[in-house]
Amino acid sequence: MVDPLGSSLFPFPPLPQLVMADVEKESMKNYRIASEKINPEASRYPYCIVWTPIPVLSWLFPFIGHMGICTSTGVIRDFAGPYFVSFVFLLKSRYWMLDVSKVYTSGSNAWDTAVHDASEEYKHRMHNLCCDNCHSHVAMALNLMRYENSTSWNMINLCLLALIHGKHVSCAGFLKTWLPFLMLMGIVLTVALALNLR
């Protein structure tokens, strides 16, 4: 801006501004690089939350399952039981790829530190299916890294968001997730209709 006398109203030269397109371009570049490194055969999912069904429980409620969070190299860390956080190499059914640029202090180091710190904390906790479980472990990691500038991650929103944003690893992963539930619902509907038609 210039005042009527011709001098600038701002005593300093304008700072270069980041264009939103540049930020989006960088974010897409990080996302593309990480997605190219996803390797279901080797069970590697960098910057992802992974999910697999729990027999019987997931057959009744297909949105409930076992969850883990991966390091920047794709190694899965999960709270598998009392005082036990493991490096998992099991095949997963779904994964939800997160954007590392949404970590508060950005970068793979902040991501890995948060995953490590949450894992170390959960090595000293008792596993509880309803209150303090694998979902809580993942939520703690996201809270520590302040993913999306939030510290309010919890089991409920993770369960819902993983259901909405999660991608199936393969056709077999889709069937592993949904086939038992659909078969059980088919049996229940068949029995209900048979009893009502008598």
Q: What is the pLDDT of residue 125?
A: 85
Look at the block and give the residue holding tokens 């202090």: 105
Higher pLDDT, 87 or 31: 87
DSSP state of 51: E
| CA separation for the pair 125, 31 (Å, rounded) | 33
pTM: 0.75
Lookup: tokens for 95 = 């994964």
| CA separation for the pair 9, 143 (Å, rounded) | 43
DSSP state of 40: G
Q: Is the model's pLDDT at 187 over the cut of 90?
A: yes
Which amino acid is residue 8, in one-letter code? S
**Mean pLDDT over all residues of the chain?**
80
If you write DSSP's letter for every residue of 136-175 in order, what string do you get?
HHHHHHHHHHTGGG-S---HHHHHHHHHHH-EESSHHHHH
Q: Select from 4, 109, 95 the least CA-distant residue to 51.
A: 95
Average pLDDT over residues 61-69: 89
Q: What is the pLDDT of residue 20?
A: 41
Query: Which residues lie below 8 Å from residue 80, measured CB to CB, with a gap of 6+?
Result: 86, 88, 127, 134
Contact 102, 158 (CB under 8 A): no
pLDDT band at 15 (very low <50, low <70, confident <90, very high): very low
Q: What is the pLDDT of residue 147?
A: 93
Q: Is the model's pLDDT at 19 over the cut of 80?
A: no
Q: Select from 8, 133, 143 the least CA-distant residue to 68.
A: 133
Lookup: tokens for 126 = 């008792």
List, for residues 104-151, the tens digit of each pLDDT value.
887 788 999 999 999 999 888 888 878 888 899 999 999 999 999 999
pLDDT band at 42 (very low <50, low <70, confident <90, very high): confident
Distance of CA 62 to the CA centre of its chain: 17
